[in-house]
């Protein structure tokens, strides 16, 4: 029993002595370098401009010619007698058709075109690259040895370090 108690006490002593001792100290900061990450941000860029479109008539309006021809034929039929009446009716129909067509299409020829201004909005996606600060690469010196680490915030002139000492 004495022997096992002695072995247990010796093991507890050795286990306690083998543990590392840690403490907090200060190291001198030698250099601080900001670290950036490139981030691509898409955005829409729109411009507005006035353009002049050429419009051509889709076709002529023949309703004026028809109505004018009928009205001219009726008026021509009121003039003269016999074959003269037939001729007056025919001439009235032709003259009425030309007059009705001219009024309906305002005298514009079939090939007429006009320019109509219209505002046009054009958009495109622009990818803008921005630099985003991620942290700082810090170089520090502790007891003559130079070390480096990454930190989220900028340190001051000194840096708190945890020092661990353990037997070899």
What CA–CA distance (Å, rounded) separates 110 from 101?
12
Confidence band for 111, pLDDT divided at 50, 70 and 90 = low
SS3 13: helix
* pLDDT greater at residue 151 or residue 76: 151
pLDDT of residue 18: 53
The closest alpha carbon to 36, from 141, 132, 168, 140, belongs to: 132
SS3 61: coil
H/E run at residue 26? strand 21-55
pLDDT of residue 48: 93
What confidence tens digit (pLDDT) does each residue in 3-48 have?
544 444 444 444 444 567 899 999 999 999 999 999 999 999 999 9
pLDDT of residue 109: 57
pLDDT of residue 100: 78
pLDDT of residue 38: 94
What confidence tens digit (pLDDT) does each residue in 54-108 have?
776 666 677 877 887 788 778 877 876 777 777 777 887 788 878 877 777 765 5
pLDDT at 153 over 80: yes
The closest alpha carbon to 147, from 157, 161, 133, 134, belongs to: 161
Question: pTM for this structure?
Answer: 0.43
pLDDT of residue 125: 94
H/E run at residue 166? none
């Amino acid at each position: 029993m004495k022997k096992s108690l002695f072995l247990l006490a010796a093991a507890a002593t050795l286990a306690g002595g083998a543990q590392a001792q840690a403490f907090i100290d200060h190291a001198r900061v030698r250099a601080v370098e900001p670290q950036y990450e490139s981030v691509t941000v898409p955005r829409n860029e729109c411009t507005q401009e006035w353009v002049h479109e050429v419009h051509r008539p889709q076709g002529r309006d023949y309703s004026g010619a028809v109505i004018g021809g009928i009205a001219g034929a009726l008026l021509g039929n009121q003039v003269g007698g016999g074959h003269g009446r037939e001729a007056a009716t025919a001439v009235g129909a032709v003259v009425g058709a030309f007059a009705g067509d001219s009024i309906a299409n305002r005298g514009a020829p079939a090939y007429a075109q006009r320019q109509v201004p219209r505002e046009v909005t054009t958009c495109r996606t622009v990818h803008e690259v921005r630099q985003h600060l991620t942290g700082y690469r810090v170089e520090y010196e502790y007891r003559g040895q130079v070390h480096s680490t990454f930190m989220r915030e900028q340190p001051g002139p000194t840096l708190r370090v945890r020092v661990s000492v353990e037997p070899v």
